[in-house]
């Protein structure tokens, strides 16, 4: 599977490659837009954290995750399947997220999603195994591969913050959609995940200047 984003040294390699290939990336990094490594534990806990964080603010996701972890102890597929929907909803999960987590837990328990061995699979196969689970789309799969497994080329092209950051950084008239962002990202291979981290950091910096965060 190649080099994983497990150390700051590997992250720097990716940043050096990006700044050497793309003048916009070179400008952003030169302005101090340098992302942190930021990893999450692999396995069911990491996947559940990602599902919890879908389409909610960072603060809301942290609050929901805190409540969920109080009942999801240990954070395993078996534990989750043993909890009632009422308990999961009381933690703040939507019915859709309950269904997604239950589907993922079932696939893991029944052996169809080898989550603990997913790092042994090539990127595309790992992505396909994740998106085969009902409720897990490309964004969730890419975020898991990037933040939990450290795949340096995993790229969440459907992420709105990454799309908006690309619009601002590259002076585009409109925010690119997933297809347009994927095309723009071709120049970043095999470090598209690192480029996404740069764009997230840039987005946060812009919003901080605007007083939004």
Share of the chain above pLDDT 70, in %: 98
Whether the Cβ atoms of residue 121 and residue 94 lie closer than 8 Å to each other: no
Task: Tell me the DSSP string of 118-147.
Answer: GGGS-HHHHHHHHHTSTT--HHHHHHIIII
Which pLDDT score, from 0 to 100, does residue 155 have?
96
Convert the pLDDT of each residue in 127-176 to its tens digit: 999 999 999 999 999 999 999 999 999 999 999 999 999 999 999 999 99
Q: Under DSSP, is residue 173 helix (H, G, I), strand (E, B) or coil?
A: coil
**Confidence class for position 212, pLDDT limits 50, 70, 90:** low
CA–CA gap between residue 203 and residue 205 (Å, rounded): 5
**All domains in the chain, ordered by first residue:** 8-38+154-209 (1.10.1670.40), 44-148 (1.10.340.30)
Q: What is the DSSP letter of 112?
A: S
Mean of the pLDDT values across residues 4-18?
Answer: 95
Q: What is the mean pLDDT of residues 57-78?
A: 95
What is this structure's pTM?
0.93
Identify the helix (H) or strand (E) that includes residue 88: helix 85-90
What's the CA gap between 50 and 66, in Å, rounded?
A: 13
């Amino acid at each position: 599977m190649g080099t994983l984003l497990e150390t700051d040294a590997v992250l720097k390699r990716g940043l050096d490659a990006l700044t050497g290939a793309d003048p916009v990336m070179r400008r952003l990094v030169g302005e101090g837009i340098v992302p942190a490594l930021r990893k999450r534990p692999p396995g069911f806990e990491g996947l559940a954290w990602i599902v919890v964080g879908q389409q909610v603010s960072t603060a809301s996701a942290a609050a929901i995750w805190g409540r969920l972890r109080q009942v999801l102890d240990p954070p395993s597929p078996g534990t989750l399947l043993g909890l009632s929907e009422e308990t999961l909803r009381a933690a703040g999960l939507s019915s859709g997220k309950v269904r997604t987590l239950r589907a993922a837990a079932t696939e893991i328990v029944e052996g169809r999603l080898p989550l603990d061995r997913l790092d042994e699979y090539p990127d595309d196969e790992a992505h396909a195994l994740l998106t085969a689970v009902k409720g897990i789309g490309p964004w969730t799969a890419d975020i898991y591969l990037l933040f939990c497994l450290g795949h340096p080329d995993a790229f969440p092209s459907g992420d709105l913050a990454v799309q908006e950051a690309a619009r601002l950084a590259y002076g585009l008239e409109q925010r690119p959609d997933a297809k347009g962002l994927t095309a723009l990202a071709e120049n970043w291979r095999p470090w598209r995940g690192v480029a996404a981290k740069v764009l997230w950091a840039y987005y946060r910096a812009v919003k901080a200047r605007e007083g939004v965060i």
